[in-house]
Amino acid sequence: VKEDGRDGIAFFEQAMQVAASERLAIESELRKAFSDNQLRLHYQPQVVYGSQKILGAEALLRWQHPERGLIGPSAFIDVLEQSSLIFDAGRWILARACECIAGLLTDQLVNPDTFCLSVNISPRQFRHPNFVGDVLGAIRQHAIPTRCLSLEITEGIVIENINDTIDKMNELRQHGVHFSIDDFGTGYSSLSYLKRLPVDLLKIDQSFVRDCTGNANDAEIIRAIIAIASSLHMDLIAEGVETRDQLNFLHAQGCDQFQGYLFSPPVDEHRFRELLASGG
Ligand code: C2E
Ligand code: CA
Ligand code: CA
Ligand code: CA
């Protein structure tokens, strides 16, 4: 038994080493990608029910690899978030998003009173002591109305350090920056926490949307999330909407804002501008 145990540990350690060296390889490639300007933001439209008018978008990170083509974040986001590169990359993402907003406003492709671009914020990026300064710096650098920028945070960020979270959110909120809770329902934040947060929008996670028309549990969870949002006076958006049936179910439950392949996949800035120009 002891021998087996040792083997088990040895095997585990070996597997960890493989994973660790692979991480290091990805990390050093990512550093090069960052300094060689291979990171991109793509934009996925967010629409209102009925008119299907584009009211905003979510900025999503991509890696334009010279040999392997366009790589989505699932292949590298964990490595990025666990390396110190997340701080520089996070600042770049914020600056690029603000630059994009500024261009859309200059070319009058969006309405400054209604359009909002959401940016995903990783927990370590949020915890950085100068996070508030970084966000405000990016907004000032590109001279955009603060209300045009929204930050997506996860429940994980909230429960890690509730007081620091609330302080930072309130400070940014005072300047007009909006917040949404991403992947809502997949984390562990309690309602008493949520109630204390200056959050404008809950995003219904795509894992609940996927089977909402076939799975009674998921349908119930969506009803519960919608009830929570309404009692906390928060707006709602459903992500990962792929079918008309999902759309109709969600709308019947009281959700009016949508994001998903049914409307558009994430697209590059050029294509996003075309979508806006053609009236959304
Ligand atoms: P997320 O924030 O939950 O983003 C939603 C994901 O769902 C995106 O994947 C999007 O492309 C995908 N999606 C959109 N519509 C549909 C649909 O109808 N069906 C399906 N099956 N999927 C859909 P993506 O772009 O691969 O991003 C994955 C995750 O990587 C994101 O999940 C987010 O957690 C992270 N991420 C992306 N960009 C950034 C970033 O700039 N910073 C940080 N910190 N994380 C990012
Ligand atoms: Ca998100
Ligand atoms: Ca999400
Ligand atoms: Ca997700």
Could you tell me the two tokens for 15? Answer: 């597997």
Distance between CA atoms of residues 103 and 32, nearest Å: 27
Q: Is the CB of 80 under 6 A from ligand 1?
A: no
The phi and psi torsions of 237 (rounded to 5 degrees) equal -140, 140
The whole-angstrom separation of Cα 237 and Cα 220 is 17
Does the CB atom of residue 204 touch ligand 1 within 6 A?
no
Distance 244 CA to ligand 4 centre (A): 21
Encoding tokens for residue 44? 């996925």
61, 62, 126, 155: residue to mutate for ligand 1 pocket, most atoms within 8 A of CB: 61
* 242 in contact with ligand 1, CB cutoff 6 A: yes
Q: ipTM score here?
A: 0.98
Q: Which position has the token pair 């793509």?
A: 42
| E runs forming strands in 69-188 | 69-71, 116-120, 149-154, 178-184
Whether 260 lines ligand 1, by a CB cut-off of 6 Å, is yes
Ligand 1 binding pocket includes 240 (Cβ within 6 Å): yes
Residue 1 has a pLDDT of: 39
Tens digits of residue pLDDT in 58-106: 999 999 999 999 999 999 999 999 999 999 999 999 999 999 999 999 9
C-alpha distance from residue 277 to each of 104, 110, 112, 122, 280 (Å):
10, 9, 15, 31, 7
How much is the pTM?
0.93
The residues whose Cβ lies within 5 A of ligand 4, an ion, are 183
